[in-house]
Structure 1
Amino acid sequence: MSVVLETRGLTKAFGGLVAVNDVSLQLHKGELLALIGPNGAGKSTCFNMLMGQLRPTKGSVHLMGEDITGLSPRVIWRRGVGRTFQITATYASMTVVENVQMALLSHNHQVLKVLPYAHKMHRDRAHELLEMVGMAEQADRHCAVLAYGDLKRLELAIALAHEPTLLLMDEPTAGMAPRERIALMQLTADIVRDQGVSVLFTEHDMDVVFAHSHRIMVLNRGQLIADGNVEAIRNDPRVQEVYLGGGTVFKSEDEAEDA
C-alpha cells in the first residue's frame, strides 16, 4: 500500500512552548486515519504544518514522496491536498451550486478570466459533486439560509472539486447534531472507499472515531503516544489515562448495547 502522507520528526515550538514534539506518521492510499487527543494536544498545530499555514521548527512533511515542508498553502493545495475546517467557510451570498462552481473554476485556473460568465461554467460537474454529498436538491438555495450540517456537506463538495489525493478534515462534525455527524462521516468513508482518497481527520466524538476510522493515532502534549486499530486504541491504558483521566474505559459496541 503506497504512502500518501509522511511526517518525519515534525516539531513546532512557540518560544519555550513545544506544541508538537517529534511526530512521525504515515497515511496510506485509501486510508481513513483519525488523529485524536485532549484539548491542547497539538492536533490543529499539526494540521497547520501539514497544510503550510505554519512552518515546522524541525522535521519534514512529504506528500507522495515529495518534500513539501514550508511550501505555501496554495502550492500544497495545487499538489492535491484539500482541507475542511472546524468553522465552515462558504460564500453566503452565493447559491450552493455557485460555491462549488467557484471551486471548480479555481481548480481549472479560470477564476479571473471568466468571472463575467462564471455562473454558466462547470454546472454539470458541480451538480455531480452535490449529488455525491446529498446536496443536489438544495443546489439553488443561498448558503446564508442553510442549516449548519448542510454547510458542512457543501464544504466537503468544495474540497472534492479539486480532486484531492489527500483530504485533511479538522473536526469535521463540530457543531453538528449526532445523527448529522454519523451521516457525514459515513459519507466520507464511502468516498474513501469509492475514490481511493486518503483522509486524515481530527475529532472529539469517540463514537464517530471508532465507527469509521481504519486507524487511530493519539497525541498528548504534542507527543504521539499510540497508533493502532480501534480495538488497540480502545484498550490502551495510556490512552484511557490521558484522554479520559483514567476514570472511564472505552466500550466496544457490544458492551455499549449491554450497558
Structure 2
Amino acid sequence: MSLLRVSSLSKSFGGLKAVDDVSFDLEAGQLLALLGPNGAGKSTCFNMVNGQLQPSSGSIRLDDHELVGKRPRDIWRLGVGRTFQIAATFNSMTVLENVQMALVSRERKTFGLWKPAGSRYADEAMTLLEQVGMGADANRACGVLAYGDVKRVELAIALANRPKLLLMDEPTAGMAPKERNELMALTKRLVTEHKIGVLFTEHSMDVVFAYADRLIVLARGKLIAEGDAETIRNDARVQEVYFGTGKTFQPRAPLHEAAGGPQEQGALQ
C-alpha cells in the first residue's frame, strides 16, 4: 500500500482549472519530485496536499486517512512535516530552542506555563540536531547562521513531528551548489533510514536528477509524465513544455563527481 495516494485531484479558481484530474502515489522511503514550468499547477497541488488549499474534487489519502477537508495543523498531527522555500525559524532564539518549540507543540504543551519551555525536550532536540549535523551549533542564535545551516535547522524542526510524509517546497532555493547537494544528500539518508516519504518541488535540475527516485511533471494543470530521471529526461512532451522544444537536459559532469556532488547547472543540449 502506498503511503500517499492522490486520486483525480482538481482545483479551479473561477474559470481557471489550476489542477486538472491529477493522480499519483508515493511510497515510504521514496523521494518524489513534483515539477513543471511556471503556471503548471505544482504549487497548487503541493498546497492541497498540505491542507492550505482545499481541492474542488478528488482525494488525498495518507495511509488510511483522508486529508481533504482537514486543516493544516490536523494534517501535521497525522504525520506530515513541511519545509518552506524561505526557511522559517525564530532568529532571536537558539538553534536548540527552535527545535524544542516544535517538540513542545507536538506534545501539545504550548500552554504549560508552569514549567519553562527551555527545560523541555532538550535531549530529544539535541538528538535531532545531531542527525542534521547541527549539534555543535545548538546554543547559537539562528539569526547568525549561514543560510545553509538555517535550512538544516528547519529540517530538524520538520523531523520533530516524526513525520511519515515530508513536504519540501524548493528545499535548496538560495543555496550555493555545495550546500544544496549536502542538504539533499542528508535528506536522502534520513529518508532511507526512517522510511519517510518526501514530496518536493525544485527548480534546480541537478538536484532533481541526482536525488529524486521518481519524478512527475505537470503542464497547464495536467500530469503529462512520470517516471525515473532517465524516463523524464527523454520524454518528448517534457522536452517540449519544460525544457524547450527539441532539447534535453544532460548533466555537465558525472553525478558522483568528488568535489561536492553534481554540478550547479545542467546543460540543455
Q: Same fold (TM over 0.5)?
A: yes
Runs of 4+ with >6 A deviation: none
Task: Determine the structure 2 residue equivalent to 1:168.
Answer: 167
Q: Distance in 2 between matches of 1:242 and 1:79?
A: 36
Deviations 1:151-192 (Å, cap 9, x if unpaired)?
111110000000000000011001111111101110110011
Partner of 2:263: none
Deviation at 1:65, TM superposition (A): 2.8
Could you say what secondary structure the match of 2:250 adopts?
A: coil
| Deviation at residue 16 of structure 1 after TM alignment | 1.1
- Identity percentage over the alignment? 58
Count of residues paired in the alignment? 257
TM-score, normalized by length of structure 2? 0.92
Distance in 1 of aligned mates of 2:38 and 2:130:
35
For 1:59, give the aligned amino acid. G
Residue 47 (structure 2) aligns with: 48
Structure 2 Cα separation of the partners of residues 129 and 254 of structure 1: 32
Task: Give a deviation string over 1:29-54, Cα, whole Å, max 9, x none.
Answer: 11111111111211111111111111
Q: CA deviation at 1:248?
A: 2.9
1:141 aligns with 2:140: yes
Measured on the aligned residues, the alpha-carbon RMSD in Å equals 1.7
Q: What residue in structure 2 maps to residue 216 of structure 1?
A: 215
- With over 3 angstroms needed to count, the CA separation of the structure-2 counterparts of 1:177 and 1:115, relative to structure 1, is farther
Q: Distance in 1 between matches of 2:17 and 2:30?
A: 29
Deviation at 1:57, TM superposition (A): 0.7
Question: Which residue pairs with 1:112 in the alignment?
Answer: 111
Q: Which residue of 2 aligns with 1:13?
A: 12
Give the gaps of 5 or more residues in structure 1: none
- 1:23 aligns to what SS in structure 2? strand
The 10-residue stretch of structure 1 (246-255 or 76-85) with the greater mean CA deviation from structure 2? 246-255
Q: How do residues 85-124 of structure 1 correspond to structure 2 at under 5 angstroms? A: 85-114=84-113, 116-124=115-123
Structure 2 residue matching 1:111: 3-state secondary structure: coil
Query: Normalising to structure 1: TM-score of the pair?
Result: 0.95
Amino acid in structure 1 at the alignment position of 2:25: Q
Distance change (3 Å), C-alpha of 1:115 and 1:188 = farther
Matched with 2:194 is: 195
CA distance, structure 1, for counterparts of residue 162 and residue 237 of structure 2? 38
